[in-house]
A and B are shown apart, each in its own frame.
Chain A
Amino acid sequence: AQSVAQPEDQVNVAEGNPLTVKCTYSVSGNPYLFWYVQYPNRGLQFLLKYITGDNLVKGSYGFEAEFNKSQTSFHLKKPSALVSDSALYFCAVRDGSGAGSYQLTFGKGTKLSVIP
């Protein structure tokens, strides 16, 4: 079984400061990892993914994430937060070994609030 943990329900950060949203995962095979953002009453927007290769992944809107295999983590980061980054962020994982289906398992989400 695969699972994702987002230990923080909410993260508050001042505009212009760096932000980190934490994610740890558990999967039996190779992890495929994703970050999505959701604005109120909207669907999910893809931010970035890790499949293979460099551990530091760069994505949309200046976000990046670092894959750490030993710590089974995939934290989302941005050097300088914007008020418009305020939203709900979801981390998701899929077993990339080919076993099972294409199902994504999502974390419970972290609400990011960027304070002007």
Chain B
Amino acid sequence: GAVVSQHPSWVICKSGTSVKIECRSLDFQATTMFWYRQFPKQSLMLMATSNEGSKATYEQGVEKDKFLINHASLTLSTLTVTSAHPEDSSFYICSARDRGRPSYEQYFGPGTRLTVT
């Protein structure tokens, strides 16, 4: 089946530094990838949609200069949290859509736990 990986699975960084999270589709080509943020005991909030080779589309209220998304290939999207602050601490989950499968199928990564101290 379709597998999506995320790296790292958890990361701790100091306030003011930047952190990059990778999302990879391991056995399929993902034309579209989605980035979600999940606060404790809350639902997933869509942050942005990234399409391979084009700029990401950010949801209202998400700072594009703070959450940089790059989708340079059909198997890799990255989310960079720039100048991280403690309020950016969260669980970040990506999902990917297989270009060879129906559009309603999304495959989720295992998530990345970011803690900013």
Contact = CB atoms under 8 A, between A and B. Distances in A.
B97 interface: yes
A41 B95 CA distance: 16
A94 B95 CA distance: 15
B46 A41 contact: no
- Give chain A's interface residue range (CB within 8 Å of chain B): 20 to 34
A90 B91 CA distance: 16
A43 B93 contact: yes
A51 interface: yes
A84 interface: no
Nearest to B110: A43
A102 B103 contact: yes
A29 B46 CA distance: 20
B104 A32 contact: yes
B54 interface: no
B104 A51 contact: yes
A51 B103 CA distance: 11
B58 to A, nearest CB: 12
Interface string A27-53: 000001000100001111110010100
Interface string A84-116: 000000100010100001111111110100000
Interface string A12-25: 00000000000000
Interface string B32-50: 1010000001111010010
> Which 6 pairs of residues, A with B, have the shortest CB-CB distance?
A43-B110, A44-B108, A108-B43, A43-B108, A43-B111, A106-B43
